[in-house]
Amino acid sequence: MNVRRLIAVARKETLHLVRDWRSLTLALAIPLILILLYGYALTLDLRLVPTVIWDQSRTPESRKLLSLFQDSPYFAIKGYRDNYSGLQKELDRGNAMVALVIPGDFSAKVFANKPVKIQIIGDGSDANTSRLAMGYAANIGTIYALEVTSEQMQLKGQGELKQPIELIPRAWYNPGLRSQNVLIPGIIALVMIVVAALLTSTTVAREWETGTMEQLISTPLRGPELIFGKVIPYFCIGMIDVAIAVLMGKWIFDVPIVGNAGLLFGLSALFLTGALFFGMTLSIKLKSQVLANQLAIIAGFLPTLILSGFVFAIENMPIPLQFLTYIVPARYFISILRGIYLKGIGLEILWLDALFLAIYALLMIVLANRNFSFKLE
């Protein structure tokens, strides 16, 4: 491979990229758009679920229970209704996701130390949020029951209520259980596959469509020199996008890097190389910018979004899909990102994921070079 010719191709592609300011702007704006969009809109945290109340008791005891809901960061009381029809209207209109019904004999049964049932109605059209909200509501009910029992024991002179078992939860690596700390690293993988696959998927195809490939064939240029020369400018842009994504995650969403930042960028470069040559292979094989772009979205972006563990836990997928995720490179890269971001681990644990990324990058390089031909058809 002639270094001089390689640099000449890289310079030519850089000039074309600079002149095509729309593509360059898109390449640099994608990280900003995706991180802001997914960082703010996509959240797995349960906060301020709109709740309506039907308090049939209207006693100090029922108000004490409702105060626990009011003070909770998980619920926001939006109003009170006097019948099931009113509750249903709020749920139907989407003004509330949870309805709480306190029976009229609530206070009497509490004083009599008898079991009392409180109805929780959830909007099942959003199954995940409704399930979490109803679970939190049940926990608040348990807390209230323990407080009432403790007060009654003290009034009777029986001392304080002591639980035989006390569970003290502790979350490692992400103590605050913030979903942004988990999602932001995954967005980096999404940004890289979009920028890499979409931009390089048009490079060689553009040469064929504009008729400039015939001129390149007449030069002493060789296939690997053309391929690697075209990849170099996009590799630089991709690494700039990684830096933008990391800095935005830190400054806007306060997501720190616990591990080695150098290792993060090094393994990102490995994944980026595979993604760039994946797009290049599509461009070489299809020779159509539109078709290559469409296939890059289907084969690159969608598997990264759905099958990599970015949003949906792989363990919860059907068994056939779990096996399918093993051929999605972003699965290993997201595992690396979360390991470095949240756990601060290094290659002593992540070496297998890094090995799969290296195999992926090498395979894409080989496929791109084998599929490229400097011949007119």
pLDDT of 376 strictly over 50: no
C-alpha distance from residue 240 to each of 26, 32, 59, 267, 279 (Å): 13, 12, 62, 14, 18
Predicted confidence at residue 263, as pLDDT, reads: 92
The confidence score (pLDDT) of residue 122 equals 82
pLDDT of residue 176: 72
Q: Is the pLDDT of residue 51 over 50?
A: yes
Tell me the mean pLDDT in the region 308-335: 87
Taking 90 as the threshold, does the pLDDT of residue 293 lie above it?
no
* Res 167 pLDDT > 80: no
Task: Say which residue, 335 or 211, is predicted with more confidence.
Answer: 335
Sheet holding 98-102, edge to edge: 75-80, 49-55, 98-102, 119-122
Least confident of 99-108, 176-185, 274-283, 331-340: 176-185
Mean pLDDT over 52-79 rounds to 84
Domain ranges (residues) in the chain: 3-42+178-371, 49-155
CB within 8 A of 181, min separation 6: which ones? Answer: 174, 255, 341, 342
Taking residues 295-304, report their average pLDDT.
81
SS3 category, 115:
coil
Tell me: the pLDDT tens digits for 118-131?
888 887 777 777 77
User: Three-state DSSP class for 120?
Assistant: strand
Name the more confident of 369 and 332. 332
Tokens standing for residue 358: 């290296």
User: What is the spatial distance between Cα 99 and Cα 123, in angstroms, rounded to a whole number?
Assistant: 9
- The stretch 209-223 carries a mean pLDDT of 67
Instruction: Write the CB contacts of 10 (distance below 8 Å, at least 6 apart in sequence).
Output: 229, 230, 232, 233
Picking from 102-106, 129-133, 183-187, which range would have the lowest pLDDT averaged per residue?
129-133
Give the residue, 60 or 222, on which the prediction is more confident: 60
pLDDT at residue 285 greater than cutoff 60: yes
Q: Is pLDDT larger for residue 177 or for residue 349?
A: 349
Q: Average model confidence (pLDDT) for the chain?
A: 80
Taking residue 308's Cβ as centre, other Cβ atoms within 10 Å add up to 23
Torsion angle in degrees (nearest 10) through CA of 136, 137, 140, 145: -130
The answer to whether 347 and 266 are in contact (CB under 8 A) is: no
Q: Is the pLDDT of residue 170 over 90?
A: no
Lowest mean pLDDT among 64-78, 170-184, 209-223, 233-247: 209-223
Question: What's the pLDDT at 163?
Answer: 58
pLDDT band at 13 (very low <50, low <70, confident <90, very high): confident
Give residue 359's pLDDT.
94
**98-102/49-55 β-pairing:** parallel
Q: Can you give the pLDDT at residue 209?
A: 63
Fold of 49-155: abc type-2 transporter like fold (3.40.1710)
